[in-house]
Structure 1
Amino acid sequence: MIPAPFDYVRPDSLAEACQALAADEEAKVLAGGQSLMPLLRLRLAYPSRLVDIGRLPELKGVHDRGDHVFIGAMATHDEVMRSHVVNADCPLIALATATVADPAIRHRGTFGGSLAHADPAGDLPAVVLALEGVFVTRSEQGEREIPAAEFFVDYLESALRTAEVLVGVKIPKLGPGWGFHYEKFRRTAQAWAIVGVAAAVRRANGSIAEARIGLSNMGPTPVRAHAAEAGLRDAELGDQVRQACEQAAADTSPSSDLHAQADYRRHLARVLTHRAVRAAAGSP
């Protein structure tokens, strides 16, 4: 199909982008276009203006900033996946990004665009949630920071305001002792996750001292498996870990659709969480 008519603006600075968005309540940001363009083509979105932020240098790159890694919103999935900084200090992001769609989409799609789209089936929202990232945004009113726990509001809805641009995401460095793994169950290699699990585990004295677990496609937003995290604290590898991971689907609200029923998603969450935690903890 052909998209509905719209104006196209390509600003030369972040300030101009914020002005263009503030001037039109029906405007949309165009980044990599891998999520927005299909919606336009199917006429599921009707923006009156597209503000193309693809050439803004303020939004590009991956940066080591001491206690955290800053990933620009316009960094492509491929750039993030191959970044030495990401692989050294937040490898969970690289692991998950390598599973996003296919190489063609990873070369065009952007880190910030995937997160701003706020699809609960996406890989990156659950990962950033587990790593307790902080979203940095800009508008004509200035800059603000939004913790990941507050960023995802509902299905395809984020805390971004109408005239606000996502600048990038701060990912805290967790330091030594942490292990990471991403598990994803999907129909085909390029498909969305039926369920995805992002696990970060810190071991000490032969047991799990701390665990962070983010779940994809287990509700209208990505969620933390808080019950499983609590059960894993001080757990020894073996039956204690298995029992804790049985709580992975607690307090979730997965949907039933053509790909899986809700009870099957709960089963997958338990199984995949156990696999991800064991792998992150370095257990065969």
Structure 2
Amino acid sequence: MNSASIVPGGEPIARFQQTLKASASVSGRGYWSGKEITVRFEPAPEDTGVVFVREDLEGAPQIAAHVDNRIEVPRRTNLVSQGVSVEMVEHVLAALAGLQVDNCFVCVNSAEMPGMDGSAKDYVEQILAAGIETQEAPRAVLAISEVVRVGDDECWVEARPNGSKRMKFKYRLDFGSDGMIGRETLEDKLTAEYFQNELAPARTFLLLQEAEWLRQQGLGTHVDFSELLVFGEEGPIDNELRFEDECVRHKVLDLVGDLALAGCDIQGTIIANRSGHRLNAELVKQLLKENQVAYTSRRTA
């Protein structure tokens, strides 16, 4: 028996596809490039999925937000199609997936997405201001029926059946008992309201030694410590936490963005232990690899 199944209609379907009612845009600097970048979210027809459009390049090439287009790059999620890339897309994908926006053209004037404050808050606010519209086609669902796990004894992520039409999650963050970040655990059901209020504002975080190493490599030299969470020996430098457990909340935000590369809703429980972008994507690949994928653009009775 397959460990999961993509279901285009019938009992597992919990909702219909959604897109935006109007355009929305967000502008800011890229963490890695330092460029001023604008991202514009545009409504898209049923069954389009999330598609990035590089409007700065001739012919405005498109890159589908699918795990097949993901390439391995440290600390972020990048996508490539026919030699054209978009970079650091995890927060954009998380904002769309967290609000259940399934069909959207993400038009950009650069390869990199703007870093903003290291969270998905600005993206979420602009998407909600534009409005979300329900479409006629059912949303495809990947319903977990057996445990699927990737990783090793120290870092892993797994999918389990839970008998619910909603995705549940549990994330364990472990920086040891002696550090400023320490150990944090977060678990709950993933809903649009929960994502908006509890996950979207959680920011990217780094240890001071990691930030210094990146700067030595010439990366992020324009980013001030007040623009994201950098932890020194006494806690965040030039910043304050938005949540007591903001770090684990951001790891769940990243997880939501990476799972969006499945291109469908996931019904089951995702449990992660010190997982990152690479393992999150490996889980998506494993789930999709084991199943026959079927989609329909027709609304079922």
**TM-score tier after normalising by the smaller chain length:** under 0.3
- Structure with bigger helix share is 1
Structure with the larger RCO, 1 or 2 (CA within 8 Å, 6+ apart): 2
* TM-score, normalised with respect to structure 1: 0.26
